[in-house]
Structure 1
Amino acid sequence: MTCRIIIADDHPMFREGMLRTVQRLLPEACVEQAGDLDTVLEMLKTGGEVDTLILDLRFPGLTCISQLGELRQQLRRTTLIVVSMVDDPQLIEQVMAMGADGFIGKNIAPEEIGQALLAIRQGEVLVKFAPSGLLPLDTNTLTARQQDVLRLIAQGKTNKEIAKALDISPFTVRIHVSGLLRSLNVPSRAAAAVKYSASL
């Protein structure tokens, strides 16, 4: 029987890579792609039951982690797999608490992603990612958006205030903060602010 799989990611290259991985592992699957949450929700209304939803965490339309819980309620019989660059254990724990069946880091090898997908679809509750940013990096290696977030952290702004200033969701700010702490190799926002001030 053909199973229906949706790959939901806003990066076409990653979607294409994931599509090839899924087609190689599950040649009988009907694989569809979506670049934002509205498209996913439309797809869920048509075309029959979805066997597996592979969803990026930093995804247009996904503005807070509670939406994962809503998707879980809506898709009780669907395997929900979150695939992301995020490697913050606390955030991943929250993702799993919202009912995700598994979490796969985008920074692991393609064959490992494939093995993890199969294991999760077969009922294994799996979190597989490779912690990155083991070497201390200076602020010049940060993206422009990360530098904006870091500058506002150094000014003592809260996530909510940063979100308002940059016109992004607090959830997205949390993901940027998580990436910042990793990139700067520091344990806290305060330490990141100190490191930022020292670099000026």
Structure 2
Amino acid sequence: MSAQTLIVADDHPLFRGALVQALRRILPDARVVEVDAFASLQQAVLEHPAADLVLLDLHMPGTQGFSSLLYLRNEHPELPVVVVSGHEEPAIMQRALDFGASGYIAKSASFDELTRALRHVIDGGVWAPPQLAAAPAADAQERELAQRIASLTPQQFKVFMMLADGRLNKQIAFELDVMEATVKAHVTAILRKLGLIRRTQAALLAQRLLQAENPSLDVPPAEPGEDEE
């Protein structure tokens, strides 16, 4: 294999160090960049635009749930991301893959499994962990919704995640330095793309993405007369 550039994003020094050591055994010529927070991950991706792979823990300072994965898939769709997490629930693993991860590796995985997974992803494949093979089939509608979320444009995704905080259009417009009409257009496009009716439904769905422990994307129907502002 030719030399690779790998970004390891994990805020636990001991595990990150062990993972880096394993990577050096698997890919001895690789350049490994270590980050321990979402802000430093963003900077590392900008400083290494030709990086070959990000190994991402879902829990780091500055990020919640699947937000960091979705950020990378929206802002840097050409960059493969493998989630390396302590969560071993099949539903969470499947959700990460639905959101565009190129693989999911449990932190309890053996060195051999890590080696197979990394080589498979670097060769252009998608690594599904063995635990998924025996898991019940995921809900088809939720998988489709997850893929729709992953298809949002970078600007739409920013607006979508701001809805999770209950921000008004004028507040979002101020933060993004755009016209309020632009935000309204983005909200309309988000609702259409996700098959939703009310912005309150979109806000609830965005909140779900911040809870990796609860991968459900089930959104209750809109109540009559809900405010669409």
TM-score grouping bracket, smaller chain normalisation: 0.5 to 0.7
Give the 5 Å matches for 1:48-127: 48-127=49-128
How much does 1:170 deviate? 6.5
Q: Which amino acid counterpart does residue 61 of structure 1 have in structure 2? A: G
Distance in 1, Cα, partners of 2:19 & 2:32: 10
Is residue 19 of structure 1 aligned with residue 20 of structure 2?
yes
TM-score in terms of structure 1 length: 0.62
Superposed displacement of residue 40, structure 1: 0.5
Counterparts of 2:13 and 2:208, CA distance in 1? 25
Normalising by structure 2, report the TM-score: 0.55
Counterpart contact for 1:9–1:59, Cα < 8 Å: yes
Number of equivalent positions = 141
**1:70 Cα deviation after fit:** 2.5
RMSD over aligned Cα, in angstroms? 2.5
**Which deviates more from structure 2 when the two are superposed, residues 24-33 or residues 70-79?**
70-79
The amino acid that maps onto 2:86 is M
Contact 2:84–2:106 (Cα < 8 Å) also in 1: yes
1:139-150 alignment runs, 5 A limit: none
**Judging changes above 3 Å, is the alpha-carbon distance between structure 1 residues 170 and 48 closer, same or farther for their aligned structure 2 residues?**
closer
Aligned AA for 2:64? T
Matches within 5 A, 1:128-139: 128=129
What is the Cα deviation at residue 115 of structure 1?
1.9
Note the C-alpha offset of 1:130.
Answer: 5.4
SS for the counterpart of 1:83 is strand
Instruction: Tell me if the contact between 2:105 and 2:129 (Cα under 8 Å) persists in the aligned partners.
Output: yes
Instruction: Work out whether residues 37 and 61 of structure 2, in 8 Å CA contact, stay in contact via their aligned partners in 1.
Output: yes
Q: Which sections of structure 1, spanning at least 5 residues, go unmatched?
A: 132-168, 179-200
Does the residue aligned with 2:54 lie in a helix, a strand or coil? strand
Shift of 1:172: 6.5
Q: 1:54 to 1:174 in 2, by over 3 A?
A: closer
Q: How far apart are 1:69 and its partner, in Å?
A: 2.3
The whole-number CA distance in structure 2 between the counterparts of 1:19 and 1:7 is 8
CA distance, structure 2, for counterparts of residue 7 and residue 49 of structure 1: 15
Matched, 1:44 2:35: no
Given that 2:85 and 2:107 are in contact with CA atoms closer than 8 Å, whether structure 1 keeps it comes out as yes
**Alpha-carbon separation, structure 2, partners of 1:120 and 1:3:** 12
Structure 1 residue 35: Cα displacement:
0.5
Structure 1 8/80 Cα, relative in aligned 2: closer, same or farther at 3 Å? same
